[in-house]
Amino acid sequence: MQRIQQLIDTARTRYHEASPRARITIGVCTLLVVFSALALTFGSTPRQLEPLLSHRELSNADLTKLTQHFKAAGLEGWELNNQQILIPPEQRSEYLAAIAGKFESHSYSSDVDSVLKNGSILDTPTLREMRLRNAREKDLARIITQIPGIEEAQINIDDHQQRGLSGRKEMTALAAIKAATKSEVTLETAEAIREVIAARFAGLERNNVVVIDLNTGHTFGASDSNYNASNLDIALRNYERWWRGRITNLLIDIPNARIEVGLYPVESPIATTSPTVNTVNATVSVGIPDSYIQQVAESRKAISQSQQQAISQQIKENVTELLQGIMPVIPHTTLNEFTVHVATILDLPPQTETAAVTVTGMLRDAWREILMGILISACVIGLLRRNRQLQTSTATAATVSDTLNANTNHSVPNSPQMEDPVFISQKNFSGTSVSRNVHIEKPPVIHDVSTETAAELTLKDELNALVDEAPADAADILKKWISSTSS
Q: Which residues of the chain have pLDDT under 70?
A: 39-47, 54-59, 101-119, 164-167, 182, 223-230, 268-277, 348-358, 361, 397, 400-460, 486-487
Instruction: Judge contact between 54 and 73, C-beta under 8 A.
Output: no
pLDDT of residue 342: 92
Q: What is the pLDDT of residue 219?
A: 86
Angle between helices 231-250 and 187-200 (to 10 degrees): 120
Was domain 125-224 assigned CATH 3.30.300.30? yes
Distance (Å, whole) CA 197 – CA 220: 13
Domain 237-267+279-345 falls under CATH 1.10.3470: no
pLDDT value for 184: 78
Q: How many angstroms separate the CA atoms of 321 and 285, rounded?
A: 13
DSSP assignment of 242-273: HHHHHHHHHTTTSTT-EEEEEEEEE--SS--S
- Interatomic CA distance for residues 67 and 103, integer angstroms: 11
Say if CB 266 and CB 291 are below 8 A apart: no
Cα–Cα distance for residue pair 5/299, rounded to 1 Å: 51
Strand order in the sheet with 79-80: 50-51, 85-87, 79-80
State the Cα–Cα distance between residues 474 and 486, nearest whole angstrom.
18
> DSSP readout, 428-459?
-TTS-EEEEEE--PPPPP---TT-----PPPH
Residue 310 pairs with which residues in a beta bridge?
Answer: none
pLDDT of residue 161: 75
d(CA 357, CA 370): 16
Kind of pairing, strands 79-80 and 85-87? antiparallel
Alpha-carbon torsion, ordered 118, 124, 125, 131, to 10 deg:
-40
Residue 41 and residue 280: Cα distance in Å, rounded? 61
User: Helices marked H in 300-366 — which ranges?
Assistant: 305-324, 359-365
Q: What is the pLDDT of residue 4?
A: 81
pLDDT at 457: 60
pLDDT of residue 284: 92
What confidence score (pLDDT) does residue 453 get?
43
Instruction: Judge contact between 269 and 360, C-beta under 8 A.
Output: no
The Cα–Cα gap between 336 and 277 comes to 12
pLDDT of the residue at 484: 76
C-alpha 308/C-alpha 310 separation (Å) is 5
Asked if residue 425 lies in contact with residue 433, where contact means CB atoms within 8 angstroms, the answer is: yes
Phi–psi pair at 319, nearest 5 degrees: -65, -40
Distance CA 431, CA 200 (A): 158
Question: Domain ranges in the chain?
Answer: 1-42, 50-99, 125-224, 237-267+279-345
